[in-house]
Structure 1
């Protein structure tokens, strides 16, 4: 039986799991009106608004794979929740609820306190209510399930791109990969902007407002978690089309260029960097002129980087000159 939903297989070294839950997770938020019953029973009871569909996404982060065990717990919390919120943003959904399954080697209050402070800060910013979860003893990992609302007829999907549509991305790309380089290689910490890039790897900004603004305008969308080239290919496969990317249009930050020392290398990072959590989306020609106005209030840069082509094509160019660059993104099993 669960009580937070609380498992009895658990963290009862030093102090019990019930105390752990009560101290760090219960009573931290004001209850949303659509949460009829949250933590404290076998299940949460939730109310979906009339005329809306439920959008659901689950993601797992494992110490040693998605973050180092010694990583700042506040950054880990932000990364975990932001990654899930980004999935909702990619469909134009409005976030509402989250559940959290947390596995810890032992109940470490010096880790839990900053983790929870960061988690609830981001959750409250997006008006997301923690409705339950589980705690278990074991290797450090966390699994989140976020839920939100969207009109199913308008939801942004991967299968709507058509030949002639324009390809866009939000934000700047490549910083997350550079930040990971810093995390994995301490010798890079003396390079320009190393600290800022490391933070960028953990502290992404989910593009919820942008996703909502694209409803009725974008023909397809995806969030960039495994790298632009890899994630765009998901759209191409689902939509049965190809693409041409103009890499000189890829948005890269000045700090990335200075860190790497080359615009070309920065563009390569932008093409393959995973865990960016920006949006890649396609827009029909008839709506291309509406993009800047639609996203003006979203607080993020938007760049047109290419165009949808017939199936079988995946072309890269730089100022019109063909390129043959590696396109491999992040693979969870490599």
Structure 2
């Protein structure tokens, strides 16, 4: 009795499985996912659809050989919401806001060849060739045909910040997007944690000299403060409707954070100092405060100055102090 074994051909299902396995093994991610954590520091503009910031995150892919690969990009935005399309250099793109009044974010995918292998096995020079630019929208999957011409490439997601027009407000940093890229068995992710703040821009401040009237030393000794005199400072900013920030500092004591000014050289009085008053309270040096919004022209800011009794022997004479006023808008 004899038993013979006749090998059977693999069925279609097995052949498909092997083909899929070979394709999945062709490429792999190198170096892990990309985590982009950044607060944009941007300049304000009232014009819409102006690009005011951009940042790119990249993941690297390594392929065993060159091939035509099928890929897929799936963006998921959680910390921002769609507002409207933005006019970009590459056409209309979905614009997303952090919240009412914030700048708009636009996301774009592209790849970059970063190296190749010469016939002798040496590395080719690093290239800066970008291609396959694709604008992304929340939850909208993008299928890509990926031509792997060099073994090493980088997949990048660029986030752009655009002005929305009219007034805008800053946005605190938060996680706003995660984009998943699949190419064969390779899976990579870009995670964006972003915020936007506006650069301060300085307003013009008109110099002001205030001469206080003389006061009786006995009155000052009894009342502790006297001789208060009002004055106004003109602040001229180049924009309209932006938050105006004011801050004073003592010219003769840059480190001071108090509300009593240091007498300038040549002052002869003792037991007396000077204070600047705003809105009924003495102004503390280097403590910024909000003062309404800019008007696009001159704003008249009211202050007053007064004598203030200080410890020590009170002797008559003259006193001079100087402060600087910094006016910024965002």
The answer, yes or no, to whether TM exceeds 0.5 is no
TM-score normalised by structure 2 residue count: 0.20
Q: Report the TM-score when normalising by structure 1.
A: 0.20
Tell me which structure has the larger Cα radius of gyration.
2
Write 1 or 2 for the structure with the bigger share of strand.
2
Which structure is higher in helix share? 1
